Amino acid sequence: MASYMQAVSRYGPRVIQGPHALEDELVAWMATDAGANPHAVRLVLGQLGRVLRFYLRRGSPVVLPGVGRFRMTMGRDQELRVHCTVDKDLRQDLKDRRSFVGRTEHTERARWTPAQYKARWDAEFPDDPLQLPAADAESPSARRRARRGAAWGGLRRRGEGNGGATAP
């Protein structure tokens, strides 16, 4: 049985990843933008990983203004994990779709319902049917969808029953 997340990752909207920004490009851009010597910029970029290792290994969170916060945590299994929280302003700037100039695909599927994902998956993989998650009317996401209107962004009708959202 295939999972719902497999179907969403295969058919859902996504960003097409462009080529990696290489060190030479970063150095040239940063040196030009800051009016700095490219060799000094390359040296600082090279040291950034070492600085993060040093401070994180001793248990000190590292805050890079405009980038984010790095910190170490430990799970119940005593496995160390690195967590990165992206800077709030950076996150907000990157979420603005109007300023995004990269490529995307399947954007027309942004409002697909689980049933539409299932139909598409089952048509392509009849030997591995998609198992949809059980609908839990008390889950936070179900309550959020109900507040927004009908399932998955439908219209909201007022004045019927208790004034809550009902399907059109």
What percentage of residues in the chain have a pLDDT greater than 90? 67
Domain spans of the chain, in order of start: 19-58, 136-168
Residue 101 confidence (pLDDT) above 70: yes
| Listed range (20-24, 92-96, 122-126, 139-143) with the worst mean pLDDT | 139-143
Average pLDDT, the chain: 85
Rounded to two decimals, what is the model's pTM? 0.65
**SS3 label, residue 86:** strand
Per the structure block, which two tokens stand in for 17? 């990843």
Whether the pLDDT of residue 165 is over 50: the answer is no
Q: Are 39 and 46 in contact (CB under 8 A)?
A: no
The DSSP call for residue 98 is: G
Q: Where are the beta strands (DSSP E) in 62-168?
A: 62-64, 68-74, 80-86, 103-105, 130-131
- State the Cα–Cα distance between residues 80 and 47, nearest whole angstrom: 23
Residue 127 has pLDDT above 50, yes or no: yes
Model confidence band, residue 156 (pLDDT cutoffs 50, 70, 90): very low
- β-bridge mates for residue 15, sequence order: 104
